[in-house]
Amino acid sequence: MKFELTILGSSSATPVFNRNPSAQLLNCNEKFYLIDCGEGTQQQLIKFGLKASKIDTIFISHLHGDHYFGLIGLISTMHLNGRIKPLYVYGPAALKDILDIQFKYSDTVLRFQLLFNPVVADEPRVIFQNQDVVVETIIMNHRIPCTGFKFSEKKRLRKVIADKLEEAGIAPEYYPLLKKGLDLTLPGGRFIKNSDYTVDSDAPKSYCYCSDTLADGSYLESLTNCTVLYHEATFLHELIERANTTHHSTALQAAEIAQEVGAGKLIIGHFSSRYKVLLPLLEEAKGKFHSTELALEGHTYSI
């Protein structure tokens, strides 16, 4: 299935010229998930030719403004543009109060259902699943309750070896059962051993989003088998003390975590506004974990 990530915002705390606060759009099998929604996310969607109307599910990591100030505007625009299908929002419980007070005073009654699901940042939990993906929280260590999110593909069906099945005269009507991994006994008693006619599918892929966190390793277990890891890298490692004080990570620490969990690829983002040029952050991370890329707004990364 299609599984790709588009960066909409890569800045920490405040927007700076050409960088917007955190937001990412994940496409899993042509279903669109928005991860965080800093101010201006709807403008970024317009800029990159992405349709807000395609987003059905939104995950908000925590209630620092650079991760959610754009949500009320995005929802209002969906309403004004005539949306009728439901919108699912996952985030800290208080987010609902913040949205509701603004709907109240603008006298807005949404034309669609906003289905709000409070997320508790106490331990990793499955908070969402459909036929394509499972989403689990990752418990971050930040100044306020904060979760990351792990998106894992559902286990795929086995691949049938069509030539061999045809040669053996096994009718295509049995393929779906074989894809599911079943051994079969056909009418008449012929036994079909699944492993003779199918092979394992590719391993399910996963995308882990580590929003804002002290890089204390407390969440490493959640990153097991991570295909692509996004990890915040607010600072260069020379500012490790600042990172510790503010409960953020350095580029080097993000790389160490990617290495430790054996991630397939690392994307770093949430860059401090002090960095006009991002190359030193990339170089610092690549020195420890080669397969690192910068989160660049408008770029799409294959998972």
At its nearest, how many Å lie between a second copy and the CB of residue 216? Answer: 19
| For helices 279-288 and 251-261, angle between their N-to-C axes, nearest 10 degrees | 30
The annotation status of 290 as a binding-site residue, yes or no, is no
Give residues with Cβ within 8 angstroms of 97, minimum separation 6. none
Q: 100 vs 196, which CB is nearer to a second copy?
A: 100
- Choose, by CB under 8 A, the member of 29, 46, 126, 168 that binds a second copy: 46
Q: Nearest 5 degrees, angle CA 67-CA 71-CA 74?
A: 135
Q: Is 245 in the site for a second copy (CB under 8 A)?
A: no
The annotation status of 247 as a binding-site residue, yes or no, is no
At its nearest, how many Å lie between a second copy and the CB of residue 175? Answer: 47
Beginning with the edge strand found earlier in the chain, give each strand of the sheet holding 55-59 in spatial order.
114-118, 87-91, 55-59, 31-37, 23-28, 3-9, 300-302
Q: Is 176 in the site for a second copy (CB under 8 A)?
A: no
Give the Cα separation of 122 and 191 in Å (integer).
Answer: 50
Q: Within 52-81, which residues bind a second copy (CB under 8 A)?
A: 63-66, 69-70, 72-73, 76-77, 80-81
At its nearest, how many Å lie between a second copy and the CB of residue 39? Answer: 4
Q: Is 29 in the site for a second copy (CB under 8 A)?
A: no
The annotation status of 64 as a binding-site residue, yes or no, is yes
At its nearest, how many Å lie between a second copy and the CB of residue 233? Answer: 18
Quick one: DSSP state of residue 247? T
The annotation status of 248 as a binding-site residue, yes or no, is no
Q: Contact region for a second copy (CB under 8 A) — 88-96, 117-125, 172-180, 235-243?
A: 88-96
Q: Is 120 in the site for a second copy (CB under 8 A)?
A: no
At its nearest, how many Å lie between a second copy and the CB of residue 15? Answer: 5
The annotation status of 62 as a binding-site residue, yes or no, is yes
Instruction: Name the residue among 272, 273, 274, 232 with its Cα closest to residue 253.
Output: 232
Give the Cα separation of 42 and 45 in Å (integer).
Answer: 5
Q: Contact region for a second copy (CB under 8 A) — 97-105, 114-122, 131-139, 232-240?
A: 97-105
Residues taking part in catalysis: 66
Do the Cβ atoms of 198 and 191 come closer than 8 Å? no
The annotation status of 299 as a binding-site residue, yes or no, is no
Give the Cα separation of 152 and 225 in Å (integer).
Answer: 10
Q: Reduced to 3 states, what is the DSSP secondary structure of residue 184?
A: strand
Give the Cα separation of 191 and 117 in Å (integer).
Answer: 48
Do the Cβ atoms of 259 and 288 come closer than 8 Å? yes
Give the Cα separation of 256 and 287 in Å (integer).
Answer: 10
Binding site for a second copy (CB under 8 A): 13-17, 20, 39-40, 42-43, 46-47, 63-66, 69-70, 72-73, 76-77, 80-81, 92, 94-95, 97-98, 101-102, 105-107, 143-144
Give the residue numbers of the binding site. 62, 64, 66-67, 142, 212, 270
